[in-house]
Amino acid sequence: MRLVPGAPSDADLTAAPSAAADRAAVTHLLGRPPQANFHVMARHGDGSPLVIRNDPFLDDGTPMPTRWWLVGDPERTWVSRLESSGGVGEVESLLGLDVVAEAHERYAAERDAAVPVTHSGPRPSGGVGGTRRGVKCLHAHYAWFLVGGDDPVGSWVADRLREREGATHR
């Protein structure tokens, strides 16, 4: 089953292969081993990973600002095409930087809530993709949106992908 761009169904969120299978699949999708603990939070209908949730720190203790990561294909490719065709500037212009900054604040609060209260070292910073202002990465916004994040940029990406999907079936 091919996932139509947009919010995944409940089945996409609950199919759960083993942790070893997930690690192997994510390693393949990234082209390298993951550098942090993660959990697959959204899947394609065949069970393959679509979105992962990263722990707030890499295995070596380095802060990891990107909580939600779009790892699935073909979605990564679709979003890359949207970025390369000027999608970042388009969505910033349409939504305005204040709306984007509010999304960054929500994202950072959600990620920071996963940092243990006893942690005293460096902490992840910024919002979606580690930035505080503007859009750095449509992939990270879309990943967060797919798992239920209140992200107007991710919603915009989903709408653009649905439009492109519809155009290919005319």
- Write the pLDDT tens digit of every residue in 54-65: 999 999 999 998
Structural domain contains residue 46: yes
Structural domain contains residue 3: no
Structural domain contains residue 2: no
Structural domain contains residue 4: no
Q: Which domain holds residue 14?
A: 10-168
Structural domain contains residue 1: no
Q: How many Cβ atoms from other residues are within 10 Å of residue 95's Cβ?
A: 17
pTM of the predicted model as reported, rounded to 2 decimal places: 0.86
Predicted confidence (pLDDT) per residue in 13-34, tens digit: 444 678 899 999 999 999 999 9
Structural domain contains residue 106: yes
Structural domain contains residue 5: no
- Alpha carbon 167 to chain centroid, angstroms: 24
Site of tokens 């209260």: 117
pLDDT for 65: 84
Please tell me the total count of domains within the chain: 1
